[in-house]
Amino acid sequence: MSSTPEVTESGVLTCADIDIEHLAALLNRFGLSLEIVPDGEAIAGSWFGDPEAGIIKRRVLVRLDTPLHSALHESCHNICMDEARRSRLHTDAGGDYDEENAVNYMEITLADYLPGLGRERIMADMDAWGYTFRLGSVQAWFEQDAEETRLRLIQQELLDENGEPTWRLRA
């Protein structure tokens, strides 16, 4: 397990920076629940450790200091994995290279559905946190190298033909 960069120094948005009810409502559209962990308590199901989001089955666990990109990323793992894995999910999302790309693509797409976030900001936060792509930035990958991922998400019925979420979990 690698260490998490200091999010406070990077300036990424946290769950405290938005109306957390918007995130809860977004996740609810997928049948996922958002659980707020009290300040100072450990976040169960967190792969990277506090303050990063945790995942346990259909639950996404965050504190108010959890980076928004982390909350969305772990949520999108839940959305993009199949039901067999989701039913056993605890901490380690697993998955392969293609799924990780799908998670990143969905994370960027869903950012547009959170007031005060949006895709430009989530991509900047992902870069600040340390996501790495061969084209040098999240935005370059999304705009120039993610077509295969977009098509896979459409095939899996997670996005429609216009690139909008279908609000379904992968079967």
Q: Is residue 74 assigned to a domain? A: yes
Residue 168 resides in a domain: no
Q: What are the pLDDT digits (tens) for 119-145?
A: 999 999 999 999 888 899 999 999 999
pLDDT digits (tens, 9 = 90+) for 70-81: 999 999 999 999
Q: How many domains does the chain have?
A: 1
Contacting residues for 65 by C-beta, under 8 A, at least 6 apart: 7, 8, 14, 15, 16, 39, 51
Identify whether 77 is part of a domain.
yes
Question: Per the domain annotation, does 4 fall within a domain?
Answer: no
Q: Which structural domain range is residue 127 located in?
A: 13-155
Spatial contact of 2 and 50, defined as CB atoms under 8 Å apart = no
* Residue 52 included in any domain: yes
In a domain, 164, yes or no: no
**Residue 67 φ/ψ, nearest 5 degrees:** -60, 140
- At 156-168, the pLDDT tens digits run 999 999 999 999 9
Residue 110: inside a domain: yes
Q: So what's the pLDDT on residue 10?
A: 64
pTM of the model: 0.92
In-domain check, residue 5: no
